[in-house]
Amino acid sequence: MSDLKALQRAIGYQFKKTALLKQALTHPSLGHDHNQRLEFLGDAVLELCVSEKIYANHPEMHEGAMTRLRQKLVREEKLAEAAASVSLGELLNMDRSCEISGGRTNPSVLCDTFEAVLAAVYLDGGLDAARAMVLRLIGDCTETGETDAKSALQEYVQSKGLPNPTYETLGEEGPPHDRVFTAAVLIDGKPTAQGKGTSKKRAEQEAAAAALNMMKGSGEAGTDAP
């Protein structure tokens, strides 16, 4: 039960009916009361939540561009990353053979589990609760893609005749279900900025954004990170 409480803190929602959450965390390999129906519903809830955000945040964007952005935000890799950031794979109930074959880290399994948990949140707390979970774990859809900050930084340093940025993970802290990673971006081999996030990729994005702001503000690279 303590693991479920930690998960609920991590996703930002407290269940009234924990049976829904337990079902969402039951892999089909167990053969009963599994999460496939929840996954089906969660896929639709996720698409609605992300579509709403894109529509609201990008009034200038045409339909084709909105569709491409939504595809980037709900692709398997991104959902698996969101699931891993709150340790869904570790909490998933599955049979031994599935576990031995790597089921707990399989991107497809993690993606399906994320959608199932989202559906459970929707059924237990309504659409507002589901929206809040999507916002918390995926983002507010204001970016045009996952690698925007890193790509923008790379383009900027190239325009200055500098080598491409590199990234280092400096550390991680917090309990397993609420991990926070710290990453540094190095430009020309020198630490330039740091960032924090619930995954290594998110921490790198924050570091890239901080470095870009710093460089554009000062016009210089290679200052020591705080």
Which active-site residues does the annotation give? 43, 115
Hey, is 38 helix, strand or coil? helix
Report the alpha-carbon distance of residue 136 to residue 207 in Å, rounded: 19
Sheet of 180-187: strands edge to edge? 166-173, 180-187, 190-197
Token pair, residue 17, equals: 């009916």
Hey, is 186 helix, strand or coil? strand
User: Is 185:208 a contact under the CB 8 Å cutoff?
Assistant: yes
Report the alpha-carbon distance of residue 7 to residue 9 in Å, rounded: 5
Which sign, positive or negative, has the C-alpha torsion 120, 122, 124, 125? positive
Report the alpha-carbon distance of residue 207 to residue 184 in Å, rounded: 6
Q: Which residues contact 119 (CB under 8 A, 6 or more apart)?
A: 24, 38, 39, 40, 41, 42, 45
The DSSP secondary-structure symbol of 74 reads T
The CB density around residue 40, as the number of other CB atoms within 10 Å, is: 13
